[in-house]
Amino acid sequence: MSSTTLLFLLLTLSVIGYFLGRQRAYAVASNVSGIRDLHSRPTYYGALVAIWCGIPALLLFGFWLAFEDSVIIHITIGSLPAELRDLPDDRLNLFINNIKNLVSGNIVSGKVSPEMQAAAEHYRNLKSISSAALAVIALSFTIAAIAVVRSKIRSTLRARNQVERAIKYILIACSTIAIFTTIGIVLSVLYEAIRFFQVIPVTEFLFGLEWSPQMAIREDQVGSSGAFGAVPVLVGTALISVIAMAVAVPVGLMSAIYLSEYANKRFRAVAKPLIEILAGIPTVVYGFFAALAVAPFVRDAGSLLGLDVSSESALAAGLVMGIMIIPFVSSLSDDFINAVPQALRDGAYSLGATQSETIKQVILPAALPGIVGGVLLAVSRAIGETMIVVMAAGLSANLTLNPLKTVTTVTVQIVTLLVGDQEFDSPKTLAAFALGLLLFVVTLLLNVIALRVVRKYREQYE
């Protein structure tokens, strides 16, 4: 039985359980003096049955699917002949992949040996046994649950309280997903990063001045020995982010000021959503725009001025990233400027200040903490932005502060190291996770600081 059919069956059974439970409650009620004597309304009895038959079976279903594959692989490996079992890890993985391909009818790399055929047969058997077992266990549990819970329905059964408690636990479980996600991110990134740091020392990674992650495949290969100094990558990221902020902060801040202080209602109603469209455009579109229009434009403009601009210059990527961040800066600043109490403005006007003087000397200082928080959030977005730099910035890690040269960023390196074939025992792949850890930690710090500043600021005027 395929897992989709099983899932569908389980859900149907739960629905049937609901109706059976409700019907039973009506039957119980007619034995005593009507529905009034039931503890809860009949639907709660139905829901109780449905919860008992649905949720445990679904949990079992989820766990089974999650661990089925690894368990079966383990058993399959155990049944292999000894000389195959003792293969080094990478060869063994290749062998297992081939078995899987054989089972699903894909193309197998290399020749199909009889052992492989046998193992594939074994794997297929185990798989069908496993799915049959899952179906039998889940379905029999569901049916038993319907029978048991239904027989327990009495007029005194506190069904509503039980159902509500169950729902509350579900709500709690859902709200903890955020925590599990964070833990998942930290653990997954940290685990691979630690494996990376066992090969490459942390100090070399953080302070090394050369980044060329290509490792030699053969011993005698020339040149690429692999260097994992992250400084050029970090400098590249910082350079592009600085260019982006140099575009986004002035433009975003000035448009926020104009929109909230000068513009009339009609202008605001048109311009604000238009600027916010910029925020809704997918970053891959910006990336394409940068590579197609902005980078050639920057290069041509540079050669007109007699400058040697690389066609994947940091300037082009940073410029487009800045455009992307404008609405982010502008809408946050807009919020904070609007939060400044009118009394401060009126005070400044009554002293004879012009509008721009009021803004520059009263409103901006008052809103400054909030704006700084917003800018920090924007910086963290710029650092973590991926598609624009993947498509418009380069791959070569140059240690330079010249915006006309090609630089690379953390996210670009993660993408290039992880897209395509991966071997999880080579420092090349693991380096991506080390960079990911760095990225996560830096953006997390920025976010925590920014959110704290913003929250403090909000409280100030509330």
Judged by CB under 8 A, does residue 384 bind other proteins?
A: yes
Q: Amino acid identity of 410?
A: V
Segment 152 to 191, residues that bind other proteins, using CB under 8 A: 160, 164, 167-168, 170-172, 174-179, 181-182, 184-185, 188-189, 191
Judged by CB under 8 A, does residue 235 bind other proteins?
A: no
Residues forming a β-bridge with 212: 227
* Residue closer to other proteins (CB basis): 141 or 288: 288
User: Cα angle at 87 between 81 and 91, to 5 degrees?
Assistant: 115
Judged by CB under 8 A, does residue 31 bind other proteins?
A: no
Closest distance of CB 194 from other proteins, Å? 13
**What letter would DSSP give residue 301?**
H
Q: Which of 59, 199, 284, 307 binds other proteins (CB under 8 A)?
A: 284
Judged by CB under 8 A, does residue 291 bind other proteins?
A: yes
Q: Amino acid identity of 101?
A: N
How buried is 390 (Cβ within 10 angstroms: 0-12 exposed, 13-18 middle, 19+ buried)? buried
Stretch that binds other proteins, among 143-151, 217-225, 269-277, 334-342 (CB under 8 A): 269-277
* Residue closer to other proteins (CB basis): 143 or 263: 263
Closest distance of CB 143 from other proteins, Å? 26
Closest distance of CB 141 from other proteins, Å? 23
CA distances from 373 to 28, 174, 242, 332, 403 (A): 62, 29, 16, 9, 26
* Residue closer to other proteins (CB basis): 346 or 357: 357
Judged by CB under 8 A, does residue 264 bind other proteins?
A: no
Judged by CB under 8 A, does residue 447 bind other proteins?
A: yes
Q: Which of 427, 49, 395, 19 is CA-nearest to residue 216?
A: 427
Judged by CB under 8 A, does residue 222 bind other proteins?
A: no
User: Total residues at the site for other proteins (CB under 8 A)?
Assistant: 93
CA distances from 273 to 75, 186, 263, 267, 336 (A): 58, 37, 14, 11, 18
CA distances from 335 to 61, 452, 461 (A): 47, 16, 12
* Residue closer to other proteins (CB basis): 93 or 396: 93
CA 68 vs. chain centroid, Å, equals 25
For the four alpha carbons of 365, 367, 372 and 378, in that order, the dihedral sign comes to negative
Q: Which of 285, 301, 368, 395 binds other proteins (CB under 8 A)?
A: 285
* Residue closer to other proteins (CB basis): 375 or 377: 377
Closest distance of CB 393 from other proteins, Å? 14
Q: Collapsing DSSP states into helix, strand and coil, what is residue 146?
A: helix
CA distances from 414 to 189, 195, 410 (A): 12, 16, 6
Q: Which of 138, 150, 147 is CA-nearest to residue 63?
A: 138
Judged by CB under 8 A, does residue 46 bind other proteins?
A: no
* Residue closer to other proteins (CB basis): 91 or 168: 168
* Residue closer to other proteins (CB basis): 111 or 265: 265
Judged by CB under 8 A, does residue 57 bind other proteins?
A: no
Q: What is the DSSP string of 33-45?
A: TSGGGSSS-HHHH
Closest distance of CB 199 from other proteins, Å? 18
Q: Which of 262, 300, 307, 347 binds other proteins (CB under 8 A)?
A: 262
* Residue closer to other proteins (CB basis): 146 or 391: 391
Judged by CB under 8 A, does residue 370 bind other proteins?
A: no
Q: Which of 282, 342, 350, 459 binds other proteins (CB under 8 A)?
A: 282
Judged by CB under 8 A, does residue 415 bind other proteins?
A: yes
Closest distance of CB 163 from other proteins, Å? 8
Pull the structure tokens for residue 53.
Answer: 């038959």
Judged by CB under 8 A, does residue 20 bind other proteins?
A: no
Stretch that binds other proteins, among 81-89, 206-214, 251-259, 340-348 (CB under 8 A): 251-259
Residue 344: other Cβ atoms inside 10 A: 16
HEC string of 149-213 equals HHHCCCCCCCHHHHHHHHHHHHHHHHHCHHHHHHHHHHHHHHHHHHHHHHHCCHHHHHHCCCEEC
Segment 59 to 118, residues that bind other proteins, using CB under 8 A: 66-67, 69-70, 73
Segment 302 to 361, residues that bind other proteins, using CB under 8 A: 323, 326-327, 330, 352, 354-357, 359-360
Encode burial over 134-163: b for 16+ CB neighbours within 10 A, e otherwise: bbeebbebbeebbeebbeebebebebbebb
Q: Which of 275, 348, 375, 430 binds other proteins (CB under 8 A)?
A: 275
Closest distance of CB 144 from other proteins, Å? 27
What's the rounded Cα separation, in Å, for the pair 243 and 237? Answer: 10
